[in-house]
Amino acid sequence: MVQIESGNPVFQVANPFQKIIVSTCRKRLLATTLILLAPSLLLPAWSSPEISGWKITYTAAFPRKCEVFIAPAALKAVNGSGEELIAKAPLWDAYVFNIHSKTMCFLPFAKWHKQPAFMHMNELEPISDKHLSDGQGVFLGMPVVQFTFKSRSTDALFWQDREKPTDCVVRYCGTTKIPMTSVQRELIAAWLGTPRTKELPLFWGRTFSDGSKHFTLRAMAVAKQQISEDIFVVPANYKKSPNVFDVFEHQNQDMLNSVADFAASPSSSKGNAHK
């Protein structure tokens, strides 16, 4: 039914049944539109792209906890005390910074690659095929190569209280099943203070001649997962420092506190009395 008002056609529904049909169609059209728009309404306006990578969580002597994120062309390491490392291909320069003090040290590849570690002062004994190998094994569900060999533990810079070097047996476990470049492995070793090897280290520990055991490094979790690209963005407006020790101020204080506790212990005083 059509009426003409002011020269314009106006469509009217002829009977109540047609009104019901039109009303139902409008409701269905509205419901369909809301369903189609729902995903875009629920999602944030912008989300960071993600890439496939690996996350390894370590516990260690210093620092207490460390997380390493491995991507095909980037690497990030995060210490529980606030120190972080970011390096990216193709140059693999290292940006070492502290999120608490907002201090950053830039280390070109040629500089960090020459030194055995970022923070550890003791010389690291290399691991090679000449060491006695226990063969293949499994650690945290990952296939690993195991090395066990006799060694002698000497005092590092801060630990000068033992009268003589102590014999020990070193156990090392590492895996090659996590895809990464040799530069990424060397970065991780320098950050963790472990020898550079062909594997990613998962465990590094010593058993001393008196039966006591000490681990330098132990992986607690290994997971393949999606990683946000945002974590590999180097922060801006940090205070620049030429000395990497400035970045590790919290860890340095932990080390000094541990040295003070050790020096005040009865066993330390007894050892010094014989010198």
Each residue's pLDDT tens digit, 231-245: 999 999 999 988 888
Q: If pLDDT is split at 50, 70 and 90, which confidence band does 127 have?
A: low
Q: Are residues 29 and 134 in the same domain?
A: no
CB 65 within 8 A of CB 85: no
* 22 pLDDT more than 60: no
Q: Any idea which residue has 């008196």 for tokens?
A: 210
Examine the domain organization and report whether 107 and 143 are in the same domain: yes
35 and 79 co-located in one domain: no
The structural domain count of the chain equals 2
Give residue 87's pLDDT: 96
Is residue 87 within 8 A of residue 180, CB to CB? The reply is no
Which has the closest alpha carbon to 51: 71, 35, 67? 71
Q: What is the pLDDT of residue 167?
A: 83
DSSP assignment of 100-113: TTTEEEEE-HHHHT
Using an 8 Å Cβ cutoff, are 196 and 187 in contact?
Answer: no
Does residue 100 sit in the same domain as residue 22? no
Average pLDDT (62-75) is 88
Give the pLDDT of residue 200: 92
The whole model's pTM is what?
0.69
How many C-beta atoms surround the C-beta of residue 204 within 10 A?
24
> How confident is the model over 30-57, as a mean pLDDT?
67
Residue 46 reports pLDDT greater than 90: no
- If asked whether residues 241 and 109 sit together in one domain, one would say yes
Residues 104 and 233 in one domain: yes
Band of pLDDT at residue 161, cut at 50, 70 and 90: very low
* pLDDT value of residue 252: 47
**C-alpha to C-alpha distance for 89 and 74, rounded to whole angstroms:** 6
- Domain interval for residue 19: 2-42
The strand pairing partners of 55, in sequence order, are 69, 223
**Mean per-residue pLDDT of the chain:** 75
> Considering the domain boundaries, does residue 273 fall inside one?
no
Summarize pLDDT for 162-179 with one digit per residue, the tens: 456 778 888 889 999 999
State whether 6 and 67 are in the same domain.
Answer: no
Q: Give the pLDDT score at 89.
A: 96
Q: How sure is the predictor about 99, in pLDDT bands with cuts at 50, 70 and 90?
A: very high
pLDDT (0 to 100) of residue 273: 40
Higher pLDDT, 244 or 25: 244
For residues 225 and 162, membership in a common domain is answered with yes
Say what the pLDDT of residue 70 is.
97
Contact 199, 176 (CB under 8 A): yes
Q: Is residue 260 over pLDDT 50?
A: no
- Are both 151 and 19 inside the same structural domain? no
Going by pLDDT thresholds of 50, 70 and 90, the confidence category of residue 155 is low
- Give the pairing type, strands 94-98 and 103-107: antiparallel
258/186: higher pLDDT: 186
Rounded to the nearest angstrom, the gap between the alpha carbon of residue 69 and the centroid of all alpha carbons in its chain is: 4
Task: Please tell me the predicted confidence (pLDDT) of residue 221.
Answer: 94
Residue 261: inside a domain, yes or no?
no
Q: Bigger pLDDT: 148 or 253?
A: 148
Task: Say yes or no: 96 and 15 in one domain.
Answer: no
146: in domain: yes
Q: 91 and 70, same structural domain?
A: yes
Indicate the angle between helix axes 249-264 and 266-273, nearest 10 degrees.
70
